[in-house]
């Protein structure tokens, strides 16, 4: 899969794909004060993190410590250009599973709108990748990660309907969580 991605989507901002075998790692977005050489908003991996901090970035569990590929999509593979106006933040994948992820940090009032934007970004990214890459043999997933200080209810009829629509349209499962396990 790595070779297919590299052949179709060149990286415009340095390193876009990395392999990790850590038991646990996190993904966050660059802010200007973290690394001025990277575009603000580009996703990156953190291998150590203080889990007592309330506002946690997206977390990847890898109990078997196999190779997990991290792919920076927004501001990594794609810059802010009109041909690709909306795309998800990153993807993580192994040899059978490929998961697109969009993270948002909404306030309680913005939660619904940010969730809708995240689903749209995921949908457009999945469509673009499926047009260019053959995912035969892969389980494709998409995940909305709503980072917030307050835990919001994750199961309701609206979320279930959105997940069903997403799967019916793209043949891709849609989840909402701030973690994934490989």
Residues 94-147: tens digit of each pLDDT: 999 999 999 987 777 888 888 899 999 999 999 999 999 999 999 999 999 987
Contact 111, 52 (CB under 8 A): no
**Is residue 142 in a domain?**
yes
Q: CA dist 119 to 8, 115, 143, 170, Å?
A: 24, 6, 8, 12
Question: At 159, is the pLDDT very low, low, confident or very high (cuts 50, 70, 90)?
Answer: confident
**Is residue 57 in a domain?**
no
**The total number of structural domains that make up the chain:** 1
**Is residue 48 in a domain?**
no
Domain that includes residue 143, residue range: 2-20+70-168
**Is residue 42 in a domain?**
no
CA–CA distance, 98 with 94 (Å, rounded to integer): 7
For residue 40, is pLDDT > 70?
Answer: no
Q: CA dist 28 to 4, 36, 62, Å?
A: 25, 15, 17
CA–CA distance, 91 with 129 (Å, rounded to integer): 11
- pLDDT score of 154: 59
**Is residue 175 in a domain?**
no
Predicted structure pTM score: 0.88
**Is residue 146 in a domain?**
yes
**Is residue 181 in a domain?**
no
**Is residue 31 in a domain?**
no
Q: What is the pLDDT of residues 56-88, one digit of tens each?
A: 789 999 999 999 999 999 888 887 666 656 889
For residue 152, is pLDDT > 70?
Answer: no
């Amino acid at each position: 899969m790595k070779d297919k991605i590299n052949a179709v989507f060149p990286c415009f901002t340095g390193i876009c794909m990395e392999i990790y075998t850590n038991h646990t790692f996190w993904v966050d977005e660059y802010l200007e004060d973290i690394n001025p050489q990277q575009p603000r908003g580009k996703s990156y991996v953190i291998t150590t993190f203080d889990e007592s901090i309330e506002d946690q970035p997206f977390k990847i569990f890898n109990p078997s410590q196999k190779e997990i590929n991290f792919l920076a999509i927004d501001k990594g593979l794609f810059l802010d250009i009109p041909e690709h106006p909306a795309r998800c933040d990153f993807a993580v994948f192994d040899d059978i599973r490929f998961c697109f992820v969009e993270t948002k940090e909404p306030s309680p009032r913005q939660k619904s709108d940010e969730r809708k934007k995240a689903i749209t970004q995921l949908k457009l990214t999945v469509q673009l990748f499926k047009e260019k890459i053959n995912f035969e043999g892969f389980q494709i997933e998409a995940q909305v990660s709503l980072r917030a200080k307050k835990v919001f209810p994750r199961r309701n009829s609206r979320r279930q309907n959105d997940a069903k629509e997403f799967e019916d349209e793209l043949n891709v499962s849609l989840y909402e969580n701030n973690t994934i396990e490989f």
